[in-house]
Amino acid sequence: MSDTSQLKEFAGQGHVSLPPDGHLLQPLLKHARETPDKPLFSRRVGDRFEPLTVKEIVDTVRRVARGLMSLGVEPGQRVALMSKTRVEWALLDFAILATGATTVPIYETSSADQVEWILQDSGARIAFFETDALHALYRKAQDRLPECQHTFVIDQAALDHLRTLGDAVDEARLDERLAALTPATLATLIYTSGTTGRPRGCELTHGNIRVNSLQVLDHVGRVFSGEDRTLLFLPLAHALAKILFLASVERGVSIAFATSASKLVEELALVKPTWFGTVPRVLEKVFQTARQKAEQSGKERVFDQAVETAVQYSRDRAEGRLGLVTRIKHAVFDRLVYATLRRILGGQLRFLVSGGGPLQERLNHFYNGVGVKVLEGYGMTETSPVMTVNADHANRIGTVGQAVAGTTVRIAEDGEILVQGPQVLRGYWHNEAATKNAFTEDGWLKTGDLGRLDAQGFLRITGRKKEILVTAAGKNVAPGPLEDRIREHPLVSQAMVVGEGKPFVAALVTLDPGAFTHWCKKNGKEGQTLEALTEDPTLRAEVEQAVEGANRSVSRAESIRKFAILAHDFTIDRNELTPSLKVRRHVVSEHYAPVIEALFAKGGGD
């Protein structure tokens, strides 16, 4: 269905409310009373995932919380947690919250400067680090962090130590702390990774996050139950992973903690999740890997036909015009291709929740046509994070869904998305100026994103307000849609459009290492490095196909006239990507300034 008319404002249907004691530990404590022996968490040990029951989880949380209290942690104090996603992360977070303190998550990919800034700005009293290598980042700056009085290394029996300390603290004291928790209690300071500027601490209360968990369940919850299983691999320091985790706890979903992204396919087979949360880049990589394997086995043509059929099947079904020929082709490819892809994803997957960035519409149709529904949503750290999400009963591919209950989305005159709702942050930590600037005069949170609402209130993201490029001719260009289309090509890993104040638009393109290796074999260039081939005419002709495909979606004035193939992919380690794999434009622009300058030095835009 096309957007024949547009709304300026849409309010999510329904209402979600919290009781006066509606804090984040309530669901876990309720499970402990009602189903103490239910396996809720699991972690990998050898070749299997071993379960932890609700009782075991709550017992550990209570003992660790009492251990923190023995170290003098008081309500309102901050405790930092720097680790990849693992079961200990969740146990420590719950324990910190149980004391009335505030969790300050730090991505395990953060630099020493970022770690120092977050610990200093938050005034964290205690900090947990997953490994000694991460702890070393703290030790570089510990003389400048006098407020951080205790540090622990998770891999060096930190939880065991705290359990022992906790045995000296009376259970009744912890019960008093739990009884004092309210929706207004500050639960976490999440420092926004952002694409520009120094991270700012988003103040999210128990009420902000708990109500958002309930909003998500109210909106999409009918598609999963306490009988479901999920595999958690996104970083729990990220608000998306955190809310999906907490919604799972609320519903009693079995949660398996992945060991690493590199073992994702292996662990999907072990856990066989019925759903999981992801980011678009993971879905792109799964698709590209499947296509590479098809090429390597000489089945490239069959795979491409299967892709076209899946996309057509999804689109036709959405429009209510699914014909017999498409049905027959789909049934054939289901046996030849789709069933294999579903097995790679664990074999029992019913749906995915995708956020953290835009998913290519065609790729969404592909997964939907394969039999794996992708429910795409939209949010930001400042909104706990979910504002809108597609649901099983209301899913419009190409949009990020409708506003969740109690949330109103408005489109400003300049196209910016504004939002109001109970999940919106109370402010930025120790930064009144930033807090004031984040809201309009009449109290709407400014997202910085551009979008439009269709007649049914489905939101479509059209760009990022700060990322709009204005060429020397005064033409406004949204880089996101162009970049998404370039990344559809199997050779491409990342793309970044440039051209602010320039006579035309250009692009930086990075290649997927696996796809590049296969391309070299296929084109008689085996053993050659990407550094040696960035100007190779055959390789450039291949990438040019991706650029031309993107250009077909825009006007001549917005089209990409030149591009450069980079010798290296963008990485988190070089600070070029955020932990949710979004490109940090200002960092990439600095790193590749000479390349960008060369693109425009000789003119030649026409």
C-beta of residue 366 within 8 angstroms of C-beta of residue 360: no
Cα gap 110→542, rounded to integer Å: 35
Give me the pLDDT at residue 579, please: 83
Single out the residue of 6, 117, 1, 99 nearest to residue 457, CA to CA: 6
Residues 323, 248 contacting (CB under 8 angstroms): no
Q: In order of start, what are the domains of the chain with their CATH numbers?
A: 26-181 (3.40.50.12780), 279-465 (3.40.50.12780), 468-601 (3.30.300.30)
Q: Give the N- to C-terminal CA distance of the chain in Å, as an integer.
A: 36
Q: Please enumerate in sequence order all residues whose Cβ is within 8 A of that of 29, keeping only pairs 6 or more positions apart, or say none.
A: 58, 178
228-271 pLDDT, tens digit each: 999 999 999 999 999 999 999 999 999 999 999 889 999 999 99
Query: Could you give the CA distance from residue 520 to residue 491 in angstroms, rounded to a whole number?
Result: 11
42: left (phi over 0), alpha (psi -120 to 50) or beta: beta
Please give the pLDDT value at position 2: 44
Model pLDDT, residue 224: 80
Contact 455, 3 (CB under 8 A): yes
Helices (H) and strands (E) in the chain, counts: 22, 27
Query: Given this model, what pLDDT does residue 605 score?
Result: 59
Query: CA 311, CA 374: separation in Å to the nearest integer?
Result: 13
Ranges of residues in the chain with a pLDDT under 70 are 1-4, 193-197, 602-606
Neighbours of 240 (CB within 10 A): 24
Paired strand residues for 229: 254
Question: For residue 36, is the peptide bond before it cis, meaning its omega torsion is within 30 degrees of 0?
Answer: no
Q: Which residues pair with 7 in a beta bridge?
A: 453
Residue 132's CB is within 10 A of a number of other CB atoms, namely: 11
* CA-derived radius of gyration, the chain: 25
CA angle 299, 568, 197 (to 5 degrees): 120
pTM: 0.88
Alpha carbon 73 to chain centroid, angstroms = 31
Q: Tell me how far the alpha carbon of residue 214 is from its chain's centroid.
A: 19
